[in-house]
């Protein structure tokens, strides 16, 4: 993600289509996860997702020109960590609509980890965003106490979801270090080869923790794999090829052509699409305190992504 190539120019029509496409893909991929989890365990789905993401591209794309430790670490944090926890959360009682919002807290985990690990400063918009995000999470937590009998989300699902967001933040830190270690950083080789990393850990976790073949989908039972409905297989293909390889490549391409503060605000649309898709396709419902928490988290994201631009615009108006 070379900032020397990024320009403050207006996004072209092609770039706008790419940005909107990424929003639709990332917002709807939570519904695809819910569909696939009806037939796969979280660990089986993790292995399938990244096997699909790596194949067949790994045979045609050269490995990235960087130390392999960054490829492995990214694959572990982003694959096994982020999506392992997210899949477990969705199975343990997290709705797709609310998951799409909670995963956006990776922005704030990234800021905190950058402050602790990279000694980066927290600017006023970021501090304001952290406060709003904390209030939003408090609303979600209060919802478990206020009306536990109508809450469709479990505490386990909520905590696992936040763990997934924290792992996403760690993968952001690794990606930043990887880009610094590779002057000619190219996102597609990095994503394809890092997708090979989570496959074996997910298979090992499945062997260790998934139900026995007699009560679940065993790895060595072809008849059970053949009985998986087409919708679940299409969900896995969507998660591997579209949500992983295509969307991340489009997004990093936008960040290479434009400044981060011009591209990042588009991600505010992800929870909007996620909420709409979860409620429309899965019939999910949210409680008033959850809506309050969602509003606070979205405001927190807006504060972080738009705060500096608003401050610059305000100072310019005051000078005029």
* pLDDT tens string 41-57: 999 999 999 999 998 89
Task: Report yes or no on 285 lying in a domain.
Answer: yes
pLDDT of residue 237: 94
Is-contact 190 73, C-beta < 8 A?
A: no
Q: What is the mean pLDDT of residues 75-87?
A: 96
CA 132/CA 301 separation, integer angstroms: 9
State the pLDDT confidence band at 308, using cuts at 50, 70 and 90. low
Domain for residue 3, yes or no? no
Q: Which domain range does residue 98 map to?
A: 13-319
3-state SS assignment for residue 307? helix
- Residue 30: closest CA among 213, 254, 270: 270
Residue 258, helix vs strand vs coil: strand
Give me the number of domains the chain comprises: 1
At residue 145, the pLDDT reads 72
Give me the count of residues in the chain. Answer: 320
Please state, in angstroms and rounded to a whole number, the distance separating the CA atoms of residues 123 and 128.
9
Task: Look at residue 52 and tell me if it is in a domain.
Answer: yes
Q: What is the mean pLDDT of residues 93-100?
A: 92
Report whether pLDDT(104) > 60: yes
Q: What is the pLDDT of residue 310?
A: 66
Strand (E) or helix (H) holding 147: none
pLDDT, tens digit, 9 for 90 and up, residues 6-22: 454 567 888 889 989 99
When computed from its CA atoms, the radius of gyration of the chain, rounded to whole angstroms, is 20
Residue 266 zone, left/alpha/beta (φ > 0; ψ -120 to 50; rest): alpha
How much is the average pLDDT of 218-226?
69
Report yes or no on 61 lying in a domain: yes
pLDDT of 129 > 70? The answer is yes
- The answer to whether residue 219 is domain-embedded is yes
At residue 196 the predicted structure's pLDDT band, cuts being 50, 70 and 90, is: very high
Q: Is residue 51 part of a domain?
A: yes
The residue written with tokens 């649309």 in the block is 269
159-to-85, 99, 110, 166 alpha-carbon distances in Å: 9, 11, 17, 11
**2 occurs within a structural domain:** no
Residue 261: the pLDDT is: 62
Comparing C-alpha atoms, which of 116, 126, 98 is closest to residue 291? 98
Give the pLDDT confidence score for residue 120 in this predicted structure.
Answer: 79
151 confidence band (pLDDT: 50, 70, 90): low
Residue 85 lies in a domain: yes
């Amino acid at each position: 993600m070379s900032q020397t190539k990024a320009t403050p120019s207006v996004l072209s029509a092609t770039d706008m289509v790419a940005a909107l496409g990424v929003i639709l893909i990332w917002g709807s991929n939570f519904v695809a996860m819910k569909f696939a989890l009806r037939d796969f365990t979280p660990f089986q789905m993790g292995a399938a997702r990244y096997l699909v993401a790596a194949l067949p591209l790994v045979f045609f794309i050269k490995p990235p020109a960087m130390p392999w430790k960054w490829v492995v670490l990214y694959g572990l944090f982003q694959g096994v960590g982020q999506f392992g926890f997210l899949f477990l959360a969705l199975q343990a009682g997290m709705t797709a609509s609310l998951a799409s919002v909670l995963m956006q807290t990776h922005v704030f985990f990234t800021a905190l980890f950058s402050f602790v690990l990279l000694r980066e400063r927290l600017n006023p918009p970021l501090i304001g965003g952290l406060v709003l995000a904390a209030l939003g999470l408090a609303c979600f937590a209060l919802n478990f106490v206020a009306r536990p009998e109508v809450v469709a989300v479990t505490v386990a699902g909520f905590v696992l979801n936040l763990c997934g967001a924290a792992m996403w933040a760690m993968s952001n830190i690794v990606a930043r270090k990887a880009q610094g270690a590779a002057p000619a950083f190219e996102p597609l080789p990095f994503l394809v080869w890092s997708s090979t990393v989570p496959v074996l850990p997910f298979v090992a976790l499945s062997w260790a923790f998934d139900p026995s073949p007699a009560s679940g989908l065993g790895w060595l039972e072809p008849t059970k794999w053949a009985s998986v409905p087409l919708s679940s297989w299409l969900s896995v293909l969507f998660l591997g090829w579209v949500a992983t390889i295509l969307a991340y490549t489009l997004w990093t391409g936008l960040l290479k052509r434009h400044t981060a503060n011009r591209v990042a605000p588009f991600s505010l649309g992800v929870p909007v699409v996620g909420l709409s898709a979860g409620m429309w396709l899965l019939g999910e419902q949210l409680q008033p305190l959850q809506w309050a928490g969602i509003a606070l988290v979205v405001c927190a994201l807006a504060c972080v992504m738009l705060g500096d631009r608003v401050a610059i615009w305000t100072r310019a108006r005051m000078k005029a």
